[in-house]
Structure 1
Amino acid sequence: MNWLLRCISLLTILAASGPACAFDLNDLSEQLARPAVVQGDFIQEKHLRALPQPLISKGQFVLAKDTGLLWLLKSPLQQDYRINASGIARRDADGWHMLPGKSAGAEQNRLFFAVLQGDSSGLQRDFELSLQGDAQHWQLHLIPRSLLLKQVFNRIDIFGGEFVERIELLEAQGDSTVLRMPASRSATTLSDAQHHDFAQ
């Protein structure tokens, strides 16, 4: 979950001079927040300077509007996480258990939830934002403002169309993480199993 612990939410009001863009951050936020449910597969590549090949993780995710995010890691090991307004929970043999909520990693997990659902609150102070493209093909670049964030990474690049398709985290120490969600799809409701996971 290293990429998850490093990812910071996007989508805030872009303070820019000149004419308004044909496709701006408000449009992007509305687009990402529109579906009731978004789900699909993910592939994460962790590129470490000390290793010749990236570490690859695969799994599935389920994002339910105003409910939460299920992050279901399938390989190289199986581990399920749930992120919502209450915090982050991990599933073991006895069920779901909340993780400590005061850590920086926990806060960043909540912020990642905001990335996928298009939450535009509270981020303007943390990043300089640059959005290019249109509703079908857009790129959002986030440059950290604060010294603390600059110590973690150089920038975050997010690419997408109807949904977020790729997130690239370029870390200050030279490592990087690429998260790909190439075939996300929307749904109107959750399955019974998904309802059960969010209700626990």
Structure 2
Amino acid sequence: MRAPLPYRHLLRLLAASLGLCVSLAGASPPASAEPAAAAPAAAASLDERVQTLKNDLIQLNRDLLVLEEELLFPASTQVAVFVSMDVGKLFELESVQIKLGDKLVASHLYTPAEVQALHRGGVQRLYLGNLRTGTHELVAIFTGGGPHQRDYRRGATVKFDKGADPKYIELRIQDAAGKLQPEFNVKVW
């Protein structure tokens, strides 16, 4: 079960505050009788401690995000859906919708920059969620422009068995040069 958003932020704020308090508790207050030359050294020391504290907080944030993902999406129920493109000269991707069973679980409208990233070999994680073990059906609906400036709305369907291991599904858009049409393939890993 996901913790409500304010509690997660409160935990992070508490961790940051605790780290700051511990860091400052170790600092000795500056003596008023110290010469003026010692002030820059004390400021440099304080800057170093603040930088160390920032690095510790960044590492703590990374650890919390990894822990959150492990708790929300355990490997035994995890399903991830990715989108990739091969060449893509015959299809201009505009959007993708993902349905698991009869439920719409993800949809995405693509910007030209995102489409270019997919053309350069990028892979986008479109969905990450939990599924119980058993047989499931995934339906992906692709919309965009095809050859001769025609609008395309095509789907790809796959049935897969979800076991105890994580399941990864790749939605691949590629050109079928012989047919002069795009093909939409689904690969289950």
Same fold, judged at TM 0.5 (above)? no
- With the shorter chain as reference, the TM-score category is under 0.3
Q: TM-score scaled to structure 1, two decimals?
A: 0.23
Per residue, is there more helix in 1 or in 2?
Answer: 2
Q: TM-score scaled to structure 2, two decimals?
A: 0.24
Structure showing greater Rg = 2
